[in-house]
Chain A
Amino acid sequence: MDNISQVLEQLGAWQAATAGIRSLFMSDLVMLGEIPSPTYGEAPRIEFILNRFFEAGLDRCSTDEKGNGIAFLPGTQGHQTILVTAHADTLVTESKDQSIEVHENRMIGPFVGDNCIALAAMTHLPGLMQTLQVKLKSNLVLLASTRALGRGNLDGIRHFLSRGSIRCDTGLCLESVQLGRLNYACMGMLRAEIHCQLPDQYNWAQYGASGTIIPMADVVMRISRIPLPKRPLTTIIMGKMDGGIAHNNIAREIILGFEVRSESTEILRELREKIEDITEETSAQSGTRITLDVLSQRDPGGLDIGHPLVKKGRAVLSALGLQPMLYPTTSQLSALRDAGIPGLTIAITTGERRNDLDEIDESVAIDPMTTGLTQLAGILAAMDEGVGA
């Protein structure tokens, strides 16, 4: 492809052609999504993906020391190498039912929106390009990365970028939802747990003993009172809390899981210090043991909104009738940024989590997937000229 206008002209025809491979894509999506793939346990899902890459005739299909699934699709010129990546791990444990339901217009299943659709899109990319008869000049590296979530902290992609034998010039991170997102920058992020435990010598017989819930409630209250600036954008997400066994039993341990996000490294550092102060002070006052366990921390950064890559992405999305949603993300993009590789994050369809579904179930729309896959092909074709072109 010589220029962006040529790409944009093709999108209508590509969208029609992509509709023809919808069932193959959905089939891969279901089979991938139903393979349990908790962080550090992604091997079965990676094996499925590599088998698909083998079947598609890709080169250098392999896994590395971190279990990443990697394949290489040489370009006609090979003047640059584009990394396409999606994380292979999900938050579902192996014991959970992984079944995905296929309804008329939507699919429902455990974390089907995070990140099964993106993974299926990447797995299906060779077939998509073949269907569209698109031959890129650039090499493509397809990376199903492991150990992205939670304590994994993007370990898989970071390892690939730092130790891998293939140097990538630019990158495209895939997420399942929401179609229209065009992330060019990363939020700084601090993902952590606060553990509140009873000391070994705790006086269980003491009347009014409150265990760990009250001190943890105090911690939550004090964190929520920390003033957060709107610029640079900063948020604290209280994501989960576990602990206790019964209404009438004193809880021995409570764990709070939370994430701080900010566009400012300095604010992120200040918030970490404040939360450490809160835990230490509450620990001393309550006589419980309260500790902060940082699972992962990432600095903010990324491309400028005027970067040519962002402009091309916006053009493709707009040509497909999508309103580009430009906002910073906490996705794998930060690993690219840390490695000095310009990149974008896009998504394949729309989805939602609803109160009428199980906690882990997500509902994603089927029809927009065709547009999402066309967008993927379009952006890759637009990136084909080079990062700055």
Chain B
Amino acid sequence: MNPGHWFRNWFAPPGGAASCDSESIRKWIDTRTFHHSQFSDLQRLVRSKQEQNISISLCLPTLNEERTIGKEIVLLKAELMDRHPLLDEITVIDSGSTDRTRDIAAGFGANVYLASDILPEEGVKRGKGENLWKALYQMKGDIIIYIDADITNIRPHFAYGLVGPLLQDPALKYVKAFYERPLTLASGTRVSGGGRVTEILVRPLFSMFFPELTAFVQPLSGEYAARREALERIPFPVGYGVETSHLLDIYNLGGMDAFAQVDLDQRIHRNQSTHALGKMSFGILQTFFSRLKEIEKCPDFPAWSQVLRQHQCQDNVYEQVEIPVVEEDRPPILSLQSYRQKFGRA
């Protein structure tokens, strides 16, 4: 079966750059941007969840996160499962950590799986996107929340802030986190935005090809919640491109009406080197170009290299380092018969 069958024709695709104007972006930001505090009444959220008869799963993708995973599970489980039954499961999907990540996570009460043990017949690929994709098979929830496992200042609002808009508005499919708000200073307004890769790579690309998507403050944030019915219909890059592809694919399926974003105030996590960000950018570019081809915006785009070339210098000896970065896609999981059988999809 052609995976593209599941990818297309969900909604009529939006018109693209030509149909976008500043007013529509402004309107989307005004109506689809929330602050987590708007959803802090957890009893109301739990009631809403029960009335809608839906289940909610939290997925923490991990690779060597022993310093932070314990706290994430302790806080989220205590507050959002034990104290308020908002989450039905917390599951760690691990890429093969060599530290104590899996033991710690299991010790504090999470369900823990090796990504390679899930859908073994589909083979093993390495990357965060692989974990997120396999989580769709492993977890039961109608809504899936993804939260990175390297956050040092985790709070329950990271999860309930993301799920709140989905419980409030059944039309929403996908809710993205952001962490900084514009601050009005005496000297003017500080420009708020995402990280370096967002501002240098992704935002310029969105501005050129998908201006409406520039409404996202942090399109690459690793925290988001979505309905299974949306996630199961889109392909998942296994590596760096997964966040970008989610936005592009759901945008092409449902337009901006499918989205909302939530301000989670502050997120503290590891800082990455410029070289690492270069590798990430290279993966994102591959995903972006592949989507351009897919939706026939640039059908004649030439084949590209999948080798990133960076430089290093030691004792006045300069050399080029070649780093293969191959952004493979997992197909929409709905295209797998085993998935359809498990979840009763026709």
Contact = CB atoms under 8 A, between A and B. Distances in A.
A104 B103 CA distance: 8
Contacts of B152: 99, 101
A92 to B, nearest CB: 15
Interface string A107-146: 0000000000000000000000000000000000000000
B100 interface: yes
Contact of B70 (A34, A97, A104): A104
A102 B71 contact: yes
B82 A101 contact: no
B107 A104 contact: yes
B78 A23 contact: yes
B268 A23 contact: no
10 contacts: A24-B78, A24-B82, A26-B74, A26-B78, A27-B74, A27-B75, A101-B67, A102-B74, A104-B100, A104-B104
Interface majority SS on B: helix, strand, loop or mixed?
A: helix
Q: Which 3 A-B pairs have the closest CB atoms?
A: A27-B78, A102-B70, A102-B71
A34 B78 CA distance: 16
Nearest to A105: B107
A34 B108 contact: no
A172 B152 CA distance: 34
Interface residues of A, number: 15
Contact of B104 (A23, A31, A34, A103): A103
Interface of A: 23-24, 26-28, 30-31, 34, 97, 99-104
A31 B75 contact: yes
A126 to B, nearest CB: 13
A31 B155 contact: yes
Contacts of B268: 97, 99
Contacts, number: 46
A28 B107 CA distance: 18
B227 interface: no
A121 to B, nearest CB: 15
B88 interface: no
A27 B84 CA distance: 13
A26 B109 CA distance: 13
Contacts of A30: 71, 74-75
Contacts of A31: 75, 155
Interface string B72-91: 00110111001100000000
B153 A34 contact: yes
Contact of A24 (B68, B70, B83, B107): B83
Contacts of B212: none
B108 A101 contact: no
Nearest to B79: A27
B91 to A, nearest CB: 16
A99 B66 CA distance: 15
B75 to A, nearest CB: 5
Tell which of B66, B67, B74, B83 has the most Cβ of chain A within 10 Å. Answer: B74
Interface in B161-184: none
Nearest to B75: A27
Interface in B38-94: 66-68, 70-71, 74-75, 77-79, 82-83
B74 A103 contact: no
Nearest to B103: A104
A56 to B, nearest CB: 11
Nearest to B80: A27
Contacts of B70: 101-104
Contacts of A34: 153
Contacts of B68: 101
A100 B268 CA distance: 12
Contacts of B78: 23-24, 26-28
B107 to A, nearest CB: 6
Contacts of B82: 23-24
Contacts of A27: 74-75, 77-79
Contacts of A102: 70-71, 74, 108
Contacts of B155: 31
Contacts of A97: 268
Given A101-B152, A103-B104, A104-B107, 13 more contacts: A23-B77, A23-B108, A23-B109, A24-B82, A26-B78, A27-B75, A27-B79, A31-B75, A31-B155, A99-B152, A99-B268, A102-B71, A103-B67
Contacts of B108: 23, 102
Nearest to B66: A103
Contacts of A101: 67-68, 70-71, 152
A103 B70 CA distance: 6
A125 to B, nearest CB: 16
Contacts of A99: 152-153, 268
A97 B107 CA distance: 26
Contacts of B109: 23
Contacts of B83: 24
B206 to A, nearest CB: 33
Nearest to A23: B78
